[in-house]
A and B are shown apart, each in its own frame.
Chain A
Amino acid sequence: GQQLNQSPQSMFIQEGEDVSMNCTSSSIFNTWLWYKQDPGEGPVLLIALYKAGELTSNGRLTAQFGITRKDSFLNISASIPSDVGIYFCAGQQPNFNKFYFGSGTKLNVKP
């Protein structure tokens, strides 16, 4: 099946630092979504991207849809303790309905 490679697997950072994570695929996607999941909760949609090259912000979060349509990036600026959680990327291929999820990036923020 389709594989999304998400990296890094985990990150340990100091409060105030910026964070970057990315997802890559061997196939072209026409939609990229970024989610955050807190322990025992459902994923919460952070940012949706629908066009190659698109750069979208949501507060301190910025995500980009790669030009090749095979990757996406999520940046978090000036991290705070409540940013702790697992971040998932999800991609949807053209002409297919299902989404593929990355394996997640576990973010730890030290106050």
Chain B
Amino acid sequence: DSGVTQTPKHLITATGQRVTLRCSPRSGDLSVYWYQQSLDQGLQFLIQYYNGEERAKGNILERFSAQQFPDLHSELNLSSLELGDSALYFCASSVGSGAPNEQFFGPGTRLTVL
């Protein structure tokens, strides 16, 4: 158990819909990262927040957005969902923002768009 929690574990929805994925970092970690992993693919970095502020952006679509709240939990919002958005979405957390930096991953949310 990494200490990072994600809810829900599974999510099934229809195209065009909007969903919210939630992540709680490990106690004491200030950074939260979001990743997308499509079937049999590697991890694609989406976005990072540090202590409530956006710190780095990866290949995140404009239909996706995220935020980190004062209690440091984070939410990833996915809207106008398409079939291709079906994937595992992982959240990771780390103590700081820059190097050295060890990221610990949550169990993931499996999103299925029908």
Taking Cβ atoms with an 8 Å cutoff, the residues of A that contact B are 1, 30-31, 33, 35, 40-45, 48, 50, 88, 90, 92, 94-104
* Residues of A with C-beta under 8 A to B102: 33, 45, 48
Q: Which of B21-52 contact A (CB under 8 A)?
A: 33, 35, 41-45, 48, 50
Q: Is the CB of A41 within 8 A of B108?
A: yes
Q: Do A97 and B56 contact each other (CB < 8 Å), given the known contacts A50-B99, A50-B100, A92-B101?
A: yes
CB distance from A33 to the nearest CB of B (A): 7
Q: How far is the CA of A35 from the CA of B35 in the complex (A)?
A: 14
> Would you call the interface of chain A mostly helix, strand, loop, or mixed?
loop
CB distance from A111 to the nearest CB of B (A): 24
* Residues of B with C-beta under 8 A to A31: 99-101
What are 24 sample pairs from A and B whose C-beta atoms fall under 8 A apart? A33-B102, A35-B105, A40-B88, A42-B2, A42-B90, A42-B105, A42-B106, A42-B108, A43-B90, A45-B103, A45-B104, A45-B105, A50-B99, A90-B103, A92-B99, A92-B101, A95-B98, A97-B55, A97-B56, A97-B101, A99-B45, A101-B45, A102-B42, A104-B42
Q: Is the CB of B58 within 8 A of A98?
A: yes
Q: How far is the CA of A36 from the CA of B107 in the complex (A)?
A: 13
User: Residue of B at shortest CB range from A93?
Assistant: B99
Q: Is the CB of A94 within 8 A of B99?
A: yes
* Residues of A with C-beta under 8 A to B106: 42
Q: Is the CB of B100 within 8 A of A44?
A: no
